[in-house]
Amino acid sequence: MSEADSIGCVEVLATVCSIVLMVVTLPISLFLCFKVVQEYERAVIFRLGRLRSGGARGPGVFFVLPCIDNYCKVDLRTVSFDVPPQEVLTRDSVTVSVDAVVYYRIRDPLNAVVQVANYSHSTRLLAATTLRNVLGTRNLSELLTEREAISHSMQVTLDEATDPWGVQVERVEIKDVSLPDSLQRSMAAEAEAAREARAKVIAAEGEMKSSRALKEASDIMCESPAALQLRYLQTLSSIAGEKNSTIVFPLPIELIGPLMNFTSSLGVQRTTAPMGPMRFPQTGGAPSTTTSNSTPVADPGPQPSLE
């Protein structure tokens, strides 16, 4: 007789004995034979150590034989756990401390009981190692700015590893990234320097725009004497509106115009006059000449009369 036949005979004999015992101990045995499984649970039944056919039972009431049947309940609800802080060395050789939270649920109750001894503990250990492995391939900047992509990568990796166990990893979230104090200070100094640089650039752009606007306004006033006269009157009005003890005698702008034209022409003459050594007549003694180190003095010309 083969081994399978011997096991079958033993199972039949044990089943008959269990049924006889249940009948003898009625009605007490009824409390031991009928079990209830909740809506969110499934029961995996073993008879004499062998998995019974038909898959997991539930939800509802199922029947077991005393002494030869035992069962294991599996919760199908989503379970979450925290991954302890892990010291991770990033790709750019920066040591950071990272913790995360993992959400998973049982997809196949049979594999969760048969394929792994403790699916919850195994999933926790695998999540910690996966966190270190995935973050070790990223830079610090990616770790700080691409958390969603890193979390998705961890979720895919964990789900592939736990699929033979009947466990489905639904979501992984990175909770906190702790940086060393020295690195935090250096990053704060770098950010402050960047803000100061941006502020200086903005201030310089504002001054450039302001200077350009003033130049355009001055060009418009020079082209229109009426605009210059209006600006002159506005200035007098603003000065008169101030409550101070200063007495202002306005000078007609018609008198200032010739003076401004004369000053402009004088400046042009000074600019176009050739520069070179100048000789002065000697009244007596040996003749002398000025050297190249002498400072030439130009004739200012006739002074304007304000009468």
Find the CATH number of the domain harbouring 89: 3.30.479.30
Nearest to 80 by CA among 131, 127, 130, 143: 127
126 and 148 in a common domain? yes
93 and 110 in a common domain? yes
154 and 89 in a common domain? yes
Structural domain of 154: 79-179
Q: Is residue 224 part of a domain?
A: no
Q: Looking at residue 69, what is its pLDDT?
A: 84
Q: Is residue 195 part of a domain?
A: no
Residue that is last in its domain, among 75, 93, 114? 75
Structural domain count of the chain? 2
Q: What is the pTM of this model?
A: 0.58
Q: Is residue 305 part of a domain?
A: no
pLDDT in tens, 202-234: 988 888 888 888 888 777 767 777 776 777 777
Q: Is residue 276 part of a domain?
A: no
26 and 54 in a common domain? yes
Residue that is last in its domain, among 179, 196, 217? 179
Q: Is residue 211 part of a domain?
A: no
| Residue 132 exposure: Cα atoms within 13 Å on the Cβ side | 12
Instruction: For residues 139 and 146, give the distance between their C-alpha atoms in angstroms, rounded to a whole number.
Output: 10
Q: Is residue 240 part of a domain?
A: no
Which ranges of 146-302 would DSSP assign to H, the alpha helix?
147-162, 181-223, 225-241, 253-272
Q: Looking at residue 285, what is its pLDDT?
A: 44
- Regions of the chain short of the pLDDT cut 70: 1-8, 183-184, 187-188, 221, 228, 240-264, 266-307
Q: Looking at residue 51, what is its pLDDT?
A: 87
52 and 21 in a common domain? yes
Q: Is the Cβ–Cβ distance between 162 and 168 less than 8 Å?
A: yes
Residue that is last in its domain, among 75, 108, 132? 75
Q: Is residue 206 part of a domain?
A: no
